[in-house]
Amino acid sequence: MTNRVLTWLKNQFSSKELPSTPAPCFWQTDIHSHLIPGIDDGVKTLEQAMICIRQLADWGIQKVITTPHVSQEHYPNNSATILQGLAVLQQQVNLEGIPVQIEVAAEYMLDNYFLERLEKAPLLTFGTEKYLLVETGWLAKPMILDEMIFRIQTNGYTPILAHPERYSYYINDLNGLQRLRDQGCLMQLNWMSMTGRYGGHVKAQAKLILKNKWVDFIGSDMHRPEDLPALEAFLSNQGYELLSQQPLRNSSL
Ligand SMILES: [Fe+2]
């Protein structure tokens, strides 16, 4: 809202009657980002992380659950490396007095080592439902995806598939996504997907997922300050309007 509009509003209403402007991110909690410096393909420095966090706070985000990649091949992170990074972020946020709570989980790759990882040690989750954020490779569905989802659930976690709109193997297979939902797997849409940031085919798929009301969580999946303009573009995108019709769980966290 521009200053001119604000001044006009103030002239029209007494301060008691002035309608409150809702924060653009009415979902309050961001559940997907890569803001721990230097441990995956996300931000490289603490300053970059802080640029992203300050902007999220300005958009109305009150809690950031950041989710570094965990995969055997590229990002062999574990709870210790991730929690260490969390402490550094929290310290800086407190120092600057930014009104945002920082928590951590992870984005687990459903690779060949995942089931071993699942059995070995407690995984990093969020919420009382023990939400576990997972992703797959872009091109091919894991051969044992059904079994992985089942084993996640029998180990006491609630699976959330990160950015279902981005997997090329689901582009012409909405039934496959429906099936996943029927199995109890929740879905998290990337808010940049609706801006065309990942291409027209992803945008079209994101629209279909929104139309089906399959978005349980919205997430920024922010990797670096360069993502901020695309994230901002979403706030005036038609997908933003559709968010209020989704069974969004972000605010319950
Ligand atoms: Fe991610």
Tokens 């603490």 correspond to 46
Reference 37, options 70, 72, 78, 66; nearest CA is 66
CA 69 to ligand 1 center in whole angstroms: 7
The CA distance from 65 to 68, in Å, is: 10
**32-70 tens-digit pLDDT:** 999 999 999 999 999 999 999 999 999 999 999 999 999
Q: What distance in angstroms lies between residue 19's CA and the mean position of ligand 1's atoms?
A: 36
State the distance from the centre of ligand 1 to the C-alpha of 5, rounded, in angstroms: 37
pTM: 0.90
Ligand 1 centroid vs 190 CA: distance in angstroms?
9
3-state DSSP assignment of residue 195: helix
Q: Determine contact, residues 248/215, Cβ cutoff 8 Å.
A: yes
Q: How confident is the model at residue 136, as a pLDDT?
A: 97
Q: How far is the CA of 119 from the centre of ligand 1 (A)?
A: 23
| Confidence class for position 213, pLDDT limits 50, 70, 90 | very high
Give the residue among 130, 129, 126, 123 at the shortest CA–CA distance from 109. Answer: 123
pLDDT tens, residue by residue, 187-209: 999 999 999 999 999 999 999 99
Answer left, alpha or beta for residue 105, where phi above 0 means left and psi between -120 and 50 means alpha: beta
CA of 173 to the centre of ligand 1 (A): 22
Distance 17 CA to ligand 1 centre (A): 42
Fold type of domain 23-252: TIM Barrel (3.20.20)
CA of 32 to the centre of ligand 1 (A): 6
pLDDT for residue 227: 96
Q: What is the C-alpha to C-alpha distance for residues 69 and 71, in angstroms, rounded to an integer?
A: 6
Per-chain mean pLDDT for the chain: 91
> Please, which residues bridge with residue 101 across strands?
63
Tell how far the Cα of 147 is from the centroid of ligand 1, in angstroms: 22
Q: How far, in Å, is the centroid of ligand 1 from the Cα of 6? A: 37
Ligand 1 mean position, distance from CA 57 (Å): 19
pLDDT in tens, 67-108: 999 999 999 999 999 999 999 999 999 999 999 999 999 999
Residues 189 and 175: their CA atoms lie apart, in Å, by 17
Tell me, in angstroms, the distance from the centre of ligand 1 to residue 20's CA. 33
| Distance (Å) from CA 133 to ligand 1 centroid | 9
What is the whole-number distance in angstroms between the Cα of residue 107 and the centre of ligand 1?
6
User: 216-241: per-residue pLDDT in tens?
Assistant: 999 999 999 999 999 999 988 888 98
Alpha carbon distance 215, 246 (integer Å)? 6
Domain ranges of the chain: 23-252
DSSP annotation string for 164-190 = GGG-GGGTT-HHHHHHHHHTT-EEEEE
